[in-house]
Structure 1
């Protein structure tokens, strides 16, 4: 089935704003030029949304030592936590909007907001200004990207859903690598303002593809509700939601604090310290491509459990990091498992917890509630805990991640029983 172009006519009525797409729910096709073009567009959306979240550790380190040196680390982390929270929690609203056909409207609005947010960030000098520009405005723009980039691909792929989603989400890690390196290299030479504006320019250019090329394959014949209480009566969905809540509390603590950990413990030279976050993001790229490929054969829940166990063991081993070699090893391994964990969360919703693909946007939106809440409180809690020492932070992170792993094991049992060889 072919897709048709978006038709937007200024001044027309409400119906003309919707994209002219079929109102049925066709069976997804595996691959093809149009399908992989959507994957490339989703990659760019993650590059410019989750990529910024993955970069915040670099901004946090700069704020702690320069612009906001008199502000506590836990308070600074609220900027990045708010951005991440809005990015995911926005799915509660953008999910139903996606189901109504407003794909390109959201992508275009989000593109304006994220670029504008970074430009305004470049001229900020106070904490409250950064909270509004980088935390609030950029977070709201990113929220417009999350559900479109996650919900679009399952309608174009069946056998390759996890792989295509994993490739798209690697955009967040590659964005984290690119933007971290750009900021680290340019900030000492041209200053904070111009380094941040350079990132905004890169965002503007890379958002051209999704703005012009993304297309929905189908739109439900009837408008969907913005909230569905029915999903919270389903035991598998609730189990999954609780598991993700605990997982997202701990998942981003190493991303936000690995730079500070290395500097305070004098484990890395200046050059290595500059690139720990890009190294962690590079590990995520490898994990997302390889493990998501395997997930298409074993089922996403099985690999999600593997990743939850992997990040738990990695964090519990974190206190043993005492040299550059072990620091790099920890960064790569944690990045590999944590990146895949995040990729498979929404793939699990599509494959195992969404009986009707016409409501995938709504289902993903419901799953965003616990995920976003965990993201919001995780890093600030980490900032308070680290005041009493790194060991407390590491054990706290390991504890919440272990709870996530246990919950996901319970989900698998609910779906397929105790048969270890059964696909789930």
Structure 2
């Protein structure tokens, strides 16, 4: 017994065993000792505040992974949001699609002294602000939601249209319709484009297609309304614009009540601890408890500064959600949109002037824009439905190619109204499908659903230079070709206002048609490369997954190098 106590004494120096010659006496005294549990105690905590104690947790049952963020993909609230966004699109973006009517009317009345390029700058700046403001509005939508943007855009658009009805000079029309209306429509454009993406995933392209189809429907109704009111007795330019402002305000007021974005939960952070151990904070010691607390602000300056910080809203930093690593599929997709934007709106604005050069009456020329927008309704809805079935990029690539081929094969060879109507229908359907499917491709390339608004804004900002410069460049080409044709022919100079020589006017549009088809073809090629980059990224992700499972690397040479890119492009 003495040997056992000696061993315990050597293990724990904090316990002293009194010497005893009689083992019986020591056994009787043993139950009375309460500090015998000190043999199982851990050493005391270290005195340093920087030291941590690692305590092993008992093995627990592994928890299942968190459920992924699911989308409703239907239901009354989801489709009510689509309905409200479609109404806003009809009255807001529909005015942009109807600018061709204003282009022709200005050339014949208020701005008859200006050429087609100068008039195109009004609509070009309008759509430029619509797309460029996405750098800011996409981030604002992610932080504050859609309701404030929609109300502000509705008020600003109505005010700008009211000012347009009193405008007679170029600068007045430029400020009211180009700047004011462009900013008002931009405030409404990004919410209606992003809100359906928060409610749908499997049917996202179809939902966005229905929303953007409202703009094509507005492109049908507004030209017919303006064409009737411009020439109606008792009306004219000013009353017609005021009627359009009243219709837009009433419809948008009803539509905003249906729109409410869905909050997307943040994904859980990944676990970085591979073991079941946990690091405990340093224990409370006498030095920690006696440490003085940080002083409170006592001076009036400090108190006032903290009060202002508490009153100010938490404004997010001006971040563009760009990562250090280049997202190649998104970059190629944005580059394709940059080229496509130079020719996307040129036929929409110049198709009426082209039909007048074919000898059509002014009343009939109005219906070419209506036919183009009517085909856009079918293209947006049908294209979105087909994109959900066969894939967004799989539908985007042939659509981009068809709109380029239609400019080369149909528009450039048109010598009458039947061919012009056929081109208007084909281009109207394909260009409308491109606008809706391209936006859904951005949502597909964005893995974090909370950043869809910011990424959509960046994508639209990439289209802004082409939107701004495309129609004016086409107008400059048209004016140069007209002057060149007037010098080489014996006929007097043409003004392209309906009283022109048909042959001279038709030849003047050749440069515009080739320019439009070329930039659209470059956009289609970039979309093809973006699709190949998506396949390449998926292949690399599968390789990394195989390496993590220890199954080895296979097929790496198929997604790297020039040969790998050629294989991927051929597979697309």
Specify if TM > 0.5. Answer: yes
The Cα offsets for residues 261-317 of structure 1, whole Å up to 9 and x where unpaired, read as: 111232x23332121101100011111111210100111111111111010011112
Q: 1:315 pairs with 407, 413, 435, which one?
A: 407
Q: After alignment, is 278-287 or 257-266 more displaced?
A: 257-266
Q: 1:228–1:366: 8 Å Cα contact kept in structure 2?
A: no
Q: Which residue of 2 aligns with 1:29?
A: 72
Q: Are 1:405 and 2:524 matched, yes or no?
A: yes
| C-alpha separation in 2, matches of 1:277 and 1:230 | 42
2:345 is aligned with 1:302: no
Question: How many pairs does the alignment contain?
Answer: 398
Deviations 1:358-381 (A, max 9, x none): 111111111111112211110000
Q: Which of 426, 435, 442 pairs up with 1:342?
A: 435
Q: Match for 1:380 among 459, 472, 475?
A: 472
Deviates more, 1:66-75 or 1:201-210: 201-210
CA–CA distance in structure 2, aligned partners of residues 396 and 104 of structure 1: 40
Q: Distance in 2 between matches of 1:375 and 1:219?
A: 32
2:346, 2:516 within 8 Å by CA — same for their partners in 1?
A: yes
Q: Structure 2 CA distance, aligned partners of 1:280 and 1:73?
A: 21
Tell me the distance in 2 between the aligned counterparts of 1:25 and 1:66: 59
Q: Which structure is richer in relative contact order (CA contacts within 8 A, separation 6 or more)?
A: 1
Instruction: Specify the alignment match of 1:43 in structure 2.
Output: 86
What is residue 512 of structure 2 aligned with on the other side? 393
* Residue 110 of structure 2: aligned partner: 67
Residue number among 159, 178, 194 corresponding to 1:116 in the alignment: 159
In the alignment, what sits opposite 2:200?
157
* Cα shift at 1:48: 2.2
CA distance in 2, matches of 1:250, 1:312: 9
TM-score by length of structure 1 reads 0.90
Q: Does 1:234 align with 2:327?
A: yes
**Contact between 1:111 and 1:141, CA under 8 Å: does it hold in 2?**
yes
Cα root mean square deviation, aligned: 1.9
1: CA distance between counterparts of 2:162 and 2:369? 23
Equivalent in the alignment of 2:346: 253
Deviation at 1:391, TM superposition (A): 0.5
Q: Structure 2: state its 5+ residue gaps.
A: 1-66, 267-313, 482-507, 537-566
Give the Cα–Cα distance (whole angstroms) in 2 for the partners of residues 179 and 119 of structure 1: 16
Residues 174-323 of structure 1 aligned to structure 2 (within 5 Å): 174-189=217-232, 190-218=235-263, 223=316, 225-230=318-323, 233-266=326-359, 268-317=360-409, 318-323=411-416
TM-superposed deviation, 1:103 = 1.2
Structure 1 equivalent of residue 535 of structure 2: 416
Deviation, 1:408, is 0.4
| TM-superposed deviation, 1:180 | 0.8
Deviations 1:171-192 (A, max 9, x none): 1111111111110000111100
The equivalent residue for 1:6 is none
Aligned to 2:280: none
- State the distance in 1 between where 2:434 and 2:324 align: 22
Deviation at 1:89, TM superposition (A): 1.5
In structure 1, list runs of 5 or more residues that go unmatched: 1-23
Runs of 4+ in 1 over 6 A off after TM superposition: 419-422
Deviations 1:167-214 (A, max 9, x none): 000111111111111100001111000001111011011102332221
- For 1:295 and 1:337, locate their aligned partners in 2 and report how far apart those are by CA, in whole Å: 13
Secondary structure of the corresponding residue to residue 158 of structure 1 = coil
Q: CA distance change for structure 1 residues 160 and 219 in 2, over 3 Å: closer, same or farther?
A: closer
- Matched with 1:325 is 418
Q: TM-score, normalised by structure 2?
A: 0.67
- Map Cα deviations across residues 209-254 of structure 1 (whole Å, 9 max, x no partner): 3322211210677956442332882211111111101001101100
Structure 1 Cα separation of the partners of residues 516 and 324 of structure 2: 28
Aligned partner of 2:541 in structure 1 is none
Query: Contact 2:532/2:569 (CA < 8 Å) preserved in 1?
Result: no
- Tell whether the 8 Å contact from 1:93 to 1:226 is kept in structure 2 after alignment: no
Task: Select the structure of larger CA radius of gyration.
Answer: 2
> 1:102, CA displacement in angstroms?
3.2
